[in-house]
Structure 1
């Protein structure tokens, strides 16, 4: 399950952020990224390719999962940009953000 929030900046733009927890009984880190971006895009995660977002064109999914999964005791933070979305993947959550003017 994800959470979607909106924040205003001093420049007047609205930044939206979606957080999706991963690990334990939840999705893999890469799937959490897909779900977070889908939330921001307002589509089902299976429809992201139609929106021009194909995660494995931006990052090796197996490498991302291996780097982040099961590392709750480590200080792991992976940042990447995917089709206009800034994404951060930590040991417990994936966070996607986009700005709209």
Structure 2
């Protein structure tokens, strides 16, 4: 399971311990407050793990809107001062968690 924590405000690929104790490569991208939208943060995080530019993800077979409505994701997560929202989904072989401040992606174990 990916864990949310401090972020530098930029995208980053890190290795973090998983629940099983093995190391898992994750990418974290902060969103909001002048940064990208939550859906764009998801795209940037997956692109970081795939080693491509976000615009080139479709060449890798990753198209976010085939898995989730980006506008709906943005509406659920953005500007929700009344609730702590945490959305989990799988996008083309990547496990993604989107919280109130960042999107975290990691390669799916399956």
* TM-score strictly above 0.5: yes
Runs of 4+ deviating beyond 4 Å: 8-14
TM-score of the aligned structures, taking structure 2 as reference length:
0.82
Question: Are 1:96 and 2:108 counterparts?
Answer: no
State how many pairs are aligned.
Answer: 100
TM-score of the aligned structures, taking structure 1 as reference length:
0.89
Counterpart of 2:76 in structure 1 is 67
Structure 1, unaligned runs of 5 or more: none
Higher relative contact order, structure no. (Cα contacts within 8 Å, ≥ 6 residues apart): 1
Deviations 1:3-56 (A, max 9, x none): 110135597864210000000100000000000000000000000000000000
What do you get for the CA RMSD once the two structures are aligned? 1.9
Which structure is higher in strand share? 1
Within 1, Cα distance between the matches of 2:66 and 2:27? 21
Counterpart of 2:54 in structure 1 is 45
Tell me, what secondary structure is at the counterpart of 2:33? coil
Kept in 2: contact 1:85–1:96 (CA 8 A): yes
Within 1, Cα distance between the matches of 2:18 and 2:41? 26
Structure 2, unaligned runs of 5 or more: 1-9
